[in-house]
Structure 1
Amino acid sequence: MVSYEGFPGAVGVSRLTVYGWPTVDGHPGGGTPHLHLACSEGYVVTAGSGAVQTLATSGFREIPLEAGTVAWFTPGTIHRLVNGGGLEITVVMQNSGLPEAGDAVLTLPPEHLTDPDTYAGAVRIPADVPEERREEAARARRDLATRRFLELRAATEAGDPEPLAAFQRAAAALVRPRLDAWEARWRDGAHAAAAATGAHLAALRDGDTAHLTAARATSTGPTARGRFGMCGRLNVYEDI
Structure 2
Amino acid sequence: MSTFPGGTSLSFLDVYDSPAPDGICGGSPHMHTASTECYIAIGGRGQLHSLTSEGYRETDLEPGRITWFTPGTIHRAVNLDHARLVVLMSNAGLPEAGDAVMTFPSEYLQSAERYREAAALPAGGSEDELAVAAAKRRDLAVEGYLAIRDALIAGDDRPLRQFRERAAEIVADRLSGWSGIVERGPLAQAQGTLDVLARMAAGDASHLEEAAVAPGLEPAHRFGMCGRLRAYDVAAH
- TM-score, normalised on structure 2? 0.96
Cα distance in 1 for residues equivalent to 2:215 and 2:28: 31
Cα separation, 2, equivalents of 1:90 and 1:219 = 19
Match of 2:17 in 1: 20
Which residue number in structure 2 is paired with residue 79 of structure 1? 75
**How far apart, CA to CA, are the structure 2 residues paired with 1:109 and 1:131?**
27
Root-mean-square deviation over aligned CA pairs: 1.2
Aligned AA (2:39):
Y
2:228 to 229, 233, 237: 233
One of 6, 10, 16 as aligned partner of 1:9: 6
Which among 90, 106, 110 is matched to residue 106 of structure 2?
A: 110
Counterpart AA for 1:189? G
Q: Would the aligned equivalents of 1:223 and 1:239 in 2 still touch at CA under 8 Å?
A: no
Q: How far apart are 1:90 and its partner, in Å?
A: 0.7
Q: Does 1:164 align with 2:187?
A: no
**Contact 1:109/1:145, CA 8 A, preserved across alignment:** yes
Question: 2:175 maps to which residue?
Answer: 179
Alpha-carbon separation, structure 1, partners of 2:201 and 2:58: 46
What is the alpha-carbon distance in structure 1 between the residues aligned to residue 193 and residue 3 of structure 2? 13
**Residue type at the aligned position of 1:236:** A
- Which 10-residue stretch deviates more, 79-88 or 215-224? 215-224
| SS of structure 2 residue aligned to 1:220 | coil
| 1:94 maps to 2:90 | yes
How far residue 129 of structure 1 moved from its aligned partner, in angstroms, is: 2.8
Q: Is the 8 A contact 2:10 2:234 kept in 1?
A: no
TM-score by length of 1: 0.94
Q: Secondary structure at the match of 2:78?
A: strand
Once the two structures are superposed, residues 90-124 of structure 1 have per-residue CA deviations (whole angstroms, 9 ceiling, x without a partner) of: 10000000011111000001111122211110011
Alignment of 1:34-53 (within 5 A): 34-53=30-49
Matching residue's letter, 2:227: G
Letter paired with 2:17: G
Measure, in 2, the Cα distance between the counterparts of 1:175 and 1:51: 28
5 Å-filtered alignment, 1:195-214, equals: 195-214=191-210
5+ residue gaps, structure 1, are: none
Number of residues of Structure 1 aligned to a counterpart in Structure 2: 235
**Which string of whole-angstrom CA distances, capped at 9 and with x for unpartnered residues, describes residues 148-177 of structure 1?**
111101111211111110100000011111
Give the counterpart letter for 2:226 in structure 1: C
Residue 132 of structure 1, CA deviation: 1.7
Gaps spanning 5+ residues in structure 2: where?
A: none
